[in-house]
Amino acid sequence: MRDTPVSRRQILQHAAGASLGLCGTSAFAVEFMSLEQARQSVLPQAQAFSPLAMVLNDATLSAVAQASQTRIPRGFNPQCWQATASDRGCGWAMVDRVIGKYDIIDYVVGFSLTGAVSGLEVTAYRESHGAEIRNAAWRRQFTGRKGPGQLRFGDDIRNISGATLSCQHVTEGVQRLSALLLSLPHLKLET
């Protein structure tokens, strides 16, 4: 078998094509903090986090969609932890992911014992633009809001120019998590 000579131009074209393929997938992925760091940030008083099992059956998903007035994305399967301090519950941390414009955004939301948002952290961002949603001023808009009716994109939560879809989709995700938290019968929310 005879080797076919490869020109310098073919090598450069192959290298350029390979690098373009990498840019389209994860060249912009940035992990800002670990899950553990994010949970502690959204519930700073917590001393421990215990995982909570959630059963997301059709009735629960339908209730969440109706309460949040959002579509439930395929694969919606957030994780939840009970936060405790001095052996008493102090809130919940929930982790979820949404699509920004093209890629996945991972985030963690803290909820107080009343069900109000105590904090939001973006843990990983993979888009080439729009990472401004990680700015503290934008994330602070969520704090203190309780229930999906207080988390409306454009009304309660403002947009960031250049990050519209990321802002909208994270806001809708937080709405869904809030609706889910409020729909879980085994959680004892304070009034």
Q: Residue 132 and residue 43: Cα distance in Å, rounded?
A: 22
pTM as predicted:
0.82
pLDDT band at 31 (very low <50, low <70, confident <90, very high): confident
The string of pLDDT tens digits covering residues 147-183 is 999 999 999 999 999 899 999 999 999 999 999 999 8
Q: Taking Cα atoms as reference points, which of 3, 4, 22, 25 lies closest to residue 14?
A: 22
Per domain, the residue ranges of the chain are: 30-183
Q: Rg of the chain's alpha carbons, rounded to an integer? A: 20
Q: How far is CA 19 from CA 10, 12, 24, 61, in A?
A: 14, 11, 9, 41
Q: In what order do the strands lie in the sheet with 117-125?
A: 30-31, 117-125, 104-111, 88-99, 79-85, 48-52
CB of 43 within 8 A of CB of 110?
Answer: yes
Dihedral, 82, 56, 70, 40 alpha carbons, nearest 10: 20
Q: Residue 132 and residue 110: Cα distance in Å, rounded?
A: 20
The string of pLDDT tens digits covering residues 103-156 is 999 999 999 999 999 999 999 999 888 889 999 999 999 999 999 999 999 999
Lowest mean pLDDT among 1-10, 29-38, 102-111: 1-10
In this predicted structure, what is the pLDDT of residue 1? Answer: 45
Q: Which helix (H) or strand (E) holds 128?
A: none
